[in-house]
With several copies, the nearest count.
Chain A
Amino acid sequence: MPRLEVRGLSKSFLGANALQDVSFKIMPGEVLALIGENGAGKSTLIRILSGAHRPDAGEVLIDGDKVDISGPRDAENLGIATVYQELSLFPELSVAENLVFGAFPGRGIIDWRAAKREAGEFLTSLDVEIDVTKRVRDLSIAEKQMLEIAKALYRRAQIVILDEPTAVLGGEDVDHLLALVQGLAKHGVSVIFVSHRLNEVFGLADNYVVLKDGRLTGTGPISQTNHDDLVSKMVGREFARSERAVNKTVGDVVLEVENLSVDGVLNSISLTVRAGEVLGIAGLRGAGRTELARAIYGVDPITAGVVRIKGLAVANGSPLKTIRAGLGLVPEERKTQGIFIAMSTAANIPMVKMLKRGLHTIHPAEERKLAETYKTKLSIKVTNLAAAVASLSGGNQQKVVLAKWLDAGVDVLILDEPTRGIDIGAKQEIYQLIRELCNQGLAIIVISSELPEVLALSNRILVLHHGDAVAELDGQTATEEQIMLHAVGGSRK
């Protein structure tokens, strides 16, 4: 008998179908890969199973019985545990407390001694080494992710759902996590696993379910499919692998970073980027790529080193000065750092120019015209330019961020995870845009955790490991394996 079965699940938001008539089952001890493009409905499905959403139609059966999941508590009682895309940990609370949260040991009165002991033993049993008295705030991303999974298991879940658990991990951490999942399955736990990384899917899953635009477009054993087959089910067309296409006519050095250090995070990093060139920066999560971008950009104070743009040293500590020197940053966290979420699309675009030029007044009519221009130029899908930018999809929000920099005019643009959380279509558009900008003579740095992306875009690739620049590779000849070797510190031994 299947551990879990869903029949005809549908869910729509304000008339848009997020999920339509989806059915599948999963047996005890099975690992089911749930795949699909951005917005395909994966998270929606998961949210229904975990009680965060109610379905409009359809039913859920567990061990053959129809169940009603009307809240996170119900899901927990039914043995369903979910590890969300956004972490659901409490940063101010300790590891032990987060682990046992809601299932506190003791009768009414929390027995902290037992909590600590149980937490410690439980983590050890999973082969996870974290000090249980640490506050979660102080953990690494990988540790947090492990804890999140441990938390699900701690509740003796029989069905564990992982929504892109590896998206924020790299190298060893991914391996560790995958091993953990395999261990679970051996113990009879059913696992639903969402990932955009097909390699992982092939290494781990027994069966797969593909969603596209809320519909089920394919399901079956993983052994009877291949990479290209899955991709075509996801996108509904043959997938063209992104070509390595870079601008060959590079110009003078525009950005020069010399011995840049940030205490405990970056050790004496030097790099140069020329006009018309893309420098890719690769590395595992936590290697310090974002820190490097921020240090160059001047938001975080540096402890040593110098940054020159077109030969002139820029002052550290003030983004505005760097912006005026010709630098731009498309940050990692789009919603909180990239756009002004409550402001309109039209108001967002001229913000950087305003700051850069020190303009004091606003001309709404010109603003609207400008927005129209960029809407066409970058094909931003937006119905009302005067509505809050929050109402745009992720990819379109990213284009608004780019529009801001293009409008202000930049010589060097740093893009940190420019396509994170963005679907394949929009991704290609953004790649295209990056190439165009290169051709126009911009110097570009692309930081990305997706190696194919780095390889597709970069002239040269700088690999970071624990805050050190460990290798510089030629973008045309480098391979994923090479980059990985450096990123995990393998080249040093």
Chain B
Amino acid sequence: MTEIKLAGQSPWIVKSVRNNWVTIVIFVALLVALAIFVPTFYQPANLLNVARQSSIVGVVAIGMTFVILTGGIDLSVGSTLALSGVTMAMLINQGMVAGVAILIALLVGVGVGIINGFIVADLKIQPFIATLATMVAITGVALRVTSGGPQPFDNAGEIFNFLGSGNVLGLPGPFLVFLIVSVIAILALRYLAFGRYLYAIGGSPEAARLTGVPTRRTLFIAYAISGLAAALAGVMTASRLGVGAPTAGGLANLDAITAVVIGGTSLMGGIGGAVGTVFGALLLAVLSNLMNLLGISPFDQQTVKGAVIVLAVLLAMQATRKRTSGRRDKRNRSEKNSDPSSK
């Protein structure tokens, strides 16, 4: 009883951390190992870099989390990032006020998300292939509107400074954006009915239908959020670099998915959350920073990265497994979690 009481009383943030303990433990272990072997890592300038570098993929991954929780996937985020970046750059070059240009760029992302939502929820095409198609198509659009060329623009304004390279309260602006987005996502997933619908749809689509969960609307919103986050990442990228490039965001989709999965969210949907994603994105950034600091050749970095992904997912899976294991339920659970034939 005491145990239960405890569980009942501990604030959910504590529980969240408890649920993601493996990611966090690896993370902390990594941080300690770094302190010993790569002291450079702890120089404030480097830490700020890591924070900054986690931001873009982090924001995309937070949006992706919503889609993956429904059991879907969004491969189109990279091209959405590019399209929103060039949209903003071109509008500003046409003399539009920064704020409005940014708003329109973000709406472009929402638009792509709605198209994805339509293909998935209404045309009922599997999310992988649906968003693969929009990925290809949107790249075409980004190239078309720019005639293929990068779009430099004047990113001297306050807002670009914040979104791009500036520091606020000693933290890099983009990292602050990442944190704000994360907090909103974490709260939305927990405190909004919409957030709970995502889990319902991803975990038990049939039960969701019977319970009257607005599946279609929820899917539309989830993909729109993913598109919005990708567009925000596009705006951040362009602000930072002072150029909107139609070729930006190349591997953002795979990196974001990796961050989400490392963070303990299952590609089958219904399990996971944004807290894990934050750590997943940070882990990827630390890994890459670390390999650079250690001077590992770029070729070998890829091999190492592949191995680390496997390891991290393995550990994240074990955490999820431990957390979800009830005695009686062993049979069913292991069927769901360990079914190798499901993506």
Chain A interfacial positions (CB closer than 8 Å to B):
13-14, 16, 50-52, 71-73, 75-76, 82, 84, 86-93, 97, 101-102, 104, 106, 108-110, 112, 116, 131-133, 135, 137-138, 140, 264-265, 286, 294, 297, 299-300, 318-320, 322-323, 329, 331, 333, 335-343, 347, 351-352, 354-356, 359-364, 368, 383-388, 390-393, 404
Q: Are A116 and B8 in contact (CB under 8 A)?
A: yes
Contact yes or no, B204 A351, CB < 8 A = no
Q: Which residues of B contact A109 (CB under 8 A)?
A: 191-192
B167: interface (CB < 8 Å)? no
Cα–Cα, bound, A368→B10 (Å): 12
For B200, B207, B329, B333, the residue with the greatest tally of chain A CB atoms inside 10 Å of its CB is: B207
- Among all A-B residue pairs, the 4 with the closest Cβ atoms: A391-B326, A72-B212, A320-B212, A342-B203
Selected contact of A341 from candidates B7, B195, B204, B325, CB within 8 Å:
B204
Q: Are A87 and B270 in contact (CB under 8 A)?
A: no
Q: Are A90 and B200 in contact (CB under 8 A)?
A: yes
**Can you spell out 13 A-B residue pairs with CB atoms less than 8 angstroms apart?**
A14-B327, A52-B209, A86-B210, A88-B210, A90-B199, A110-B196, A135-B326, A137-B329, A343-B199, A343-B270, A364-B191, A390-B324, A390-B332
Interface contact B203-A102, CB-CB below 8 Å: no
Give chain B nearest CB distance to A325 CB in angstroms. 11
B330 within 8 A of A: yes
The one of B204, B210, B212 that contacts A91, using a Cβ cutoff of 8 Å: B204
A340 near B328 with CB under 8 A, answer no
CA distance A141 to B26 in the complex (A): 37
Return chain B residues, CB-CB under 8 Å to A88.
204, 206-207, 210-211
Q: How many cross-chain pairs have Cβ atoms below 8 Å apart between A and B?
A: 209
A392 to B271, CA, bound (A): 18
Contacts of A386 in B (CB 8 A): 7-8, 15
Known: A333-B206, A354-B196, A390-B326. 13 other contacts (CB 8 A): A90-B203, A93-B200, A265-B328, A319-B212, A323-B211, A340-B203, A341-B207, A347-B196, A347-B199, A356-B212, A364-B190, A388-B329, A392-B328
Chain A positions within 8 Å of B327 at CB level: 13-14, 16, 264, 391
Q: Is B193 an interface residue (CB 8 A)?
A: yes
Q: Which residue of A lies closest to B333 (CB)?
A: A390
Q: Are B212 and A364 in contact (CB under 8 A)?
A: no
B194 in the interface (beta carbon within 8 A): yes
Q: Which of A338, A351, A356, A359 contacts B200 (CB 8 A)?
A: A351
A399 to B318, CA, bound (A): 30
Q: How far is the CB of A287 from chain B (nearest CB, A)?
A: 12
Contacts of A108 in B (CB 8 A): 192-193
Contact status B204-A319, CB under 8 Å: no
Q: Is the interface of A mostly helix, strand, loop or mixed?
A: loop
* Residues of the A chain whose Cβ atoms lie less than 8 Å from the Cβ of B328: 138, 140, 264-265, 286, 391-393
B319 sits at the interface (CB 8 A): no
Supposing A116-B8, A319-B209, A384-B4 touch, asked if A90 and B204 sit within 8 A by C-beta, the answer is yes
Shortest Cβ distance from A476 into chain B, in angstroms? 33
Which residue of A300, A333, A336, A342 is within 8 Å of B270 (Cβ)?
Answer: A342
Chain A hits for B271, CB < 8 A: 92, 342
Complex alpha-carbon distance, A51 and B15, angstroms = 37
Q: B206 touches which one: A323, A337, A362 (CB < 8 A)?
A: A337
Chain A residues, CB < 8 A from B4: 131, 133, 383-384
A343 touches B324 (CB 8 A): no
Name which of B12, B202, B203, B209 has the most chain A CB atoms within 10 A of its CB: B203
Among A14, A110, A342, the residue within 8 A (CB) of B204 is A342
- Interfacial residues of chain B within 105-150, with CB under 8 A of chain A in the complex: none
Whether, in the assembled complex, B309 has its beta carbon less than 8 Å from a beta carbon of chain A, the answer is: no
Chain B contacts for A97, CB-based, 8 A = 196
CA distance A133 to B328 in the complex (A): 18
Q: Which residues of A contact B210 (CB under 8 A)?
A: 50, 52, 72, 82, 84, 86, 88, 297, 299, 319, 329, 331, 337-338
